[in-house]
A and B are shown apart, each in its own frame.
Chain A
């Protein structure tokens, strides 16, 4: 099976712009989670989608949003970008049938906000 893929891998934006990141989970995985990774804060959970519904949400402002499509692909959007949004954004998928005990991560999208 192909692994989790994320596009684009690198992105440069300026303050005030918006950005959309994409994640394709492993085939058959219906749960997709998003994380923000920064040197200062480590890995922070953004939100989780399951069967097109947001099931869990982390403590991020409303500028961060996401959605999931019927084929389980997910997108996350960040509006009105701030310098502090520069980070590696990781997507992870897992299989409910495997008791959620392993998350499979994509390579991430490196977002730089200038």
Chain B
């Protein structure tokens, strides 16, 4: 089975802190994704990566950055956390092919106070 893990299930940070969310997948997938999920808005893509050291902006990249130094690990960075970044963050990985199916981690619920 595909396994995608995220470093924390729950995280509480203060406004202005630098926040790192880590995601690791064990299936040698090329693609990795970061989403945020808010009630009534569904999932929105923040950043994604096709390969090591490659990154592409999604629909809502403002206030975020990412790092992919190794194929299995994709990090989301909040340079200076703000209260409007309080959300559920979901990481996913996927293999390139005809379906481009994505497999998700358990999510990190981040609260910024």
Genuine A/B complex: no
Chain B residues with a Cβ under 8 A of chain A: none
**Which residues of A pack against B, CB within 8 Å?**
none
